[in-house]
Amino acid sequence: MVIHFKTDGHLACGHKGSNLASSQELNRVKCRSCRNTEAYKEARKTQRNAARRVARHAKADHGASNWRSEWIERLTALAGPQRLPRGFYGQAFV
């Protein structure tokens, strides 16, 4: 069974009928005409860019928080009152 791409209440390829299977999930679309439309290509591009953005953001956050926590642990391990560097919350002694 061919699954069409549905966008804004219509099929992207222009076919009409009440018994046609359709989906907004891009990976399920099998209709070649739907896959070749600008609406499908734009939705695919948007989905791909969003996935890349999420992956890049997760990678950046992981590295940033990792060195901060290690630095705080290092200062905590030192003897005596040690001040946190600028940019850390409140400039408190550890």
- How confident is the model over 44-53, as pLDDT tens digits? 999 999 999 9
Residue 37 contacts by C-beta under 8 Å, 6 or more apart in sequence? 5, 12, 13
Distances 19 to 2, 14, 74 between C-alpha atoms, Å: 11, 14, 66
Proportion of the chain above pLDDT 70, given as a percent:
79
Alpha-carbon span 8 to 71, nearest angstrom? 51
**Predicted TM-score (pTM) above 0.85:** no
* DSSP-derived 3-state class of residue 10: strand
> What pLDDT score does 76 carry?
75
* DSSP-derived 3-state class of residue 93: strand
Sorted by where each begins, the domain ranges of the chain are 3-77
